[in-house]
Amino acid sequence: MSLFPNTSLPPDGGYGWVCVAACFSINCFTWGAVSSYGVYLAHYLSNNIFPEATPMDFALIGGLNFSMAMLVAPAVTIIARKYGTKLPMLLGLGLLASGYVSASFSRRIWQLYLSQGVLIGFGVGFIYIPSIPVLSQWFDKKRSLANGISAAGSGIGGLIFSFMDGSIIQKISLAWALRLTAIISCSMLIIAILLIRTRNEAIQPSQRGFDMKLLRRLDVLLLLSWAFLSMLGYICLLFSLPDYARSMGLSDNQATIVNAILNLGTAVGRPLIGVASDRFGRIEVAGLLTCFCGVTCFVIWLPSTSYGVLVLFAFISGAILGVFWVTVGPLCVEVAGLEQLQSLLSLSWFFIVLPTTFSEVIALKLRRLGSYQPYRNAQASTIAALASEGAIHPMDTVITRMQSPMYSSIYKHLNGTLNRTLFSGLYQGFGPTLVAGTLSSAAFFTAYEASKTAFDNAQSAGYMLDVPRPLIHVASSAVAELLACAIQNPAEVLKQNAQVYQRPVNAKRGPSPTMEMLRQFRKYPSGLWAGYDV
């Protein structure tokens, strides 16, 4: 007799809560253990353990933990389709144990690359990737809550391993910190692997390593762009904070505590993100919190000069830092449906390979050793945060509705008073604005600087004689603005249509306004560039 009901509808509970506990444990002892790499990084940077190594080597090793886990996603998806979920997880368990143990015996930097970088990354990927679709198969209305509780495991794990690894490194040795991490993690993971259960028999999902047809869809491309940019900042903050604490003159113990508080914030914040996503919309919450995380970097991290302020920043940023991990599963379901969930997740994992590999390398390259605040340049790179847009978006929504042809019929009563719907859903359409605003800003400044350099080179070569400097700046700005507007225009069209979207009166739940607009524009995507020539 089948263990599953004859319906593909998620039961929203039952054995699903056991799966939540199993996924919590998986997050705790994979990503949680990996999240403590900041403690190892700070130790490597301040001690000459590998004489031939540079700071870039240690940054790359930390990035490999994430990127290798994501790189194996297509292969893991195919193995899970053919042999079930548990086989790749058990393979990952062996890889994870091998990585930690071999890292404890490493004496050369290339050995550390292969062990603490590649092997641990592969192990995490083989265990974590098969677990991602499971909770979305068991939950519908509580999907984001279930994923939030599960994702909180990485925060609890990071908290535990940050204190444990830091203490063992100081009191015993680096090698034993790695070995004990292997013993504890593998012991707990084997229990989680035995408990986890999918509903593939009922749902019959498409488990393709890559479904390239998904890349033809605008909503998918927007989701992948958000994933890329989110992880670019996530890794930088996660791994840099302990070393930044040391650069302020704090002790090793205080740097460890800062890293632990970051993970404590993660444990507290991720379930709350799940609740908020189910209540206010998954796309809207993901976009808003991504923006807010960047704002905290400007408002708290940049001016921080004391231990207390840094601890405050660690907790607040930790609570919202990993919004990607909480929402990526539910967002993929909302974009592509349960049947295409694993295929879209594989694409998401592939798209974040580059940022997870090189984010910390870029951060260490930007820091200025010997200065009062060596991470100031890295912090300044958080311009991806669109604080101003987040503040003004509600006002923009009201103005758009008042200017729309539907104002008199929908937003205004016959007696002239305003309808409450005018002030509801004020953050409708915020998601595409956040993503496109980030991309267009980056494109503008990149194109502007590149154009100025090209004009300067042409002038030096004699192709442009006696051109006034202000004209070069104007021409460079015009080129950059053309590129930025080409990126921003679709977001503005989506935003304005989403701002005036009204759900049917009897519909209790439905797709977010942004998703509904994306479905409508899928038939004629050229409409997203309406008005660009103006």
Which parts of the chain sit beneath pLDDT 50? 1-6, 375, 377-382, 384-385
- Residue 180 burial by Cβ neighbours in a 10 Å radius (0-12, 13-18, 19+): middle
Domain boundaries, the chain: 16-384, 389-529
Distance in angstroms between the alpha carbons of the first and the last residue of the chain = 65
Joined together, the tokens standing for residue 346 give 């594989």
Q: What pLDDT shows up at residue 508?
A: 57
Q: What pLDDT shows up at residue 529?
A: 78
User: Helices 282-296 and 387-403, interaxial angle, to 10°?
Assistant: 140
Query: What three-state secondary structure class fits 371?
Result: coil
H-state helical runs in 337-468 = 341-351, 353-366, 376-380, 387-403, 407-410, 430-460
User: Helices 55-71 and 341-351, interaxial angle, to 10°?
Assistant: 160
Q: What pLDDT shows up at residue 25?
A: 92
Q: What pLDDT shows up at residue 377?
A: 44
pTM, 2 dp: 0.61
Q: What pLDDT shows up at residue 6?
A: 46
Q: What pLDDT shows up at residue 496?
A: 74
Q: What pLDDT shows up at residue 507?
A: 55
Q: What pLDDT shows up at residue 78?
A: 83
CATH class, 16-384 region: mainly alpha
- Residue 54 burial by Cβ neighbours in a 10 Å radius (0-12, 13-18, 19+): exposed
Q: What pLDDT shows up at residue 204?
A: 56
Q: What pLDDT shows up at residue 184?
A: 92
Q: What pLDDT shows up at residue 509?
A: 58
Q: For residues 510 and 207, is the Cβ–Cβ distance under 8 A?
A: no
- Residue 409 burial by Cβ neighbours in a 10 Å radius (0-12, 13-18, 19+): exposed
